[in-house]
Amino acid sequence: MSKPLMAKATAVWLVDNTTLSFRQIAEFCGMHELEVQGIADGDVATGVKGFDPVANNQLDQIEIDRGQTDPLYKLKLKFNAAAVGEEKRRGPRYTPLSKRQDRPAAILWLVKFHPELSDGAIGKLVGTTKPTIQAIRERTHWNINNIQPIDPVALGLCKQSELDTIVQAAARKKAAEGAVMTDDERRKLVSTEQSLGMVPEARVPSGLEVFGDEEEEDKRGPSDFSNADSFFNLPQGSHDDDDEDDTGRR
């Protein structure tokens, strides 16, 4: 294995019980040097109990002695035959206890504003399970009436770059399947400046645009053919001629 078991707890023990440099501890535990410095300052891993790597057969005392003598020396993890071939278990992202109560709000936000995301993608992003996501989608969650959608980035459950990456991947998958994206879905994938400059899609004209508005026709008034009296009233002279012809015949 590239780093010891319970790396953060091991780093806590090494900070408290040795004079190794922050860099040596960081390299051995697979952490950042500033994170180790935060452990020493009490800002990181508060409440974490130290894990003795020597007593747990992960590090020899001679390695610690060499490291304390030479600040440039890199500690070597003790070979453990039982750990050969083991890999880190893949599963949902770990969410701190203080933030777990915020996950339903983040899930509701993702379901509402990014419906193209699958349950698996949402689970990996905020570290939750598919039954929880399904319950919020179907609004059968026990606390659904009190949940307000909140951006998971604002809650600290993920990074903006991670959210952008997973949304773009879902959009590419949807396009590959031949699904048509709406204007709103496409605008979510571009910046604000690009979104404001987008040209609306061509659409089929409505019936009012093709045939006109009937109300406008009514405002124009009746047509000439609608006045039946003026159409059928003939001049007086025409009636007289008809009477004479009829009299002559009689």
* Mean pLDDT along residues 131-157: 91
pLDDT of residue 225: 46
Cα–Cα dist 123/103, whole Å: 10
d(CA 95, CA 105): 14
What pLDDT score does 84 carry? Answer: 52
Q: Which pLDDT tens digit goes with each residue over 185-233? A: 555 554 444 444 544 444 445 454 445 555 455 555 554 444 555 545 5
The pLDDT of residue 190 is 45
User: Residue 183 above 70 pLDDT?
Assistant: no
Q: HSE, CB side, 13 Å, CA atoms: give it for residue 158.
A: 25
For residues 42 and 36, give the distance between their C-alpha atoms in angstroms, rounded to a whole number: 10
Instruction: Name the nearest CA neighbour of 15 among 130, 2, 28, 104.
Output: 28
Q: How far is Cα 19 from Cα 4, in angstroms, rounded to an integer?
A: 19
In which band, very low, low, confident or very high, does the pLDDT at 111 lie, cut at 50, 70 and 90?
very high
Token pair in block for residue 221: 């008034």
Is residue 11 scored above 80 in pLDDT? yes
Neighbours of 88 (CB within 10 A): 8
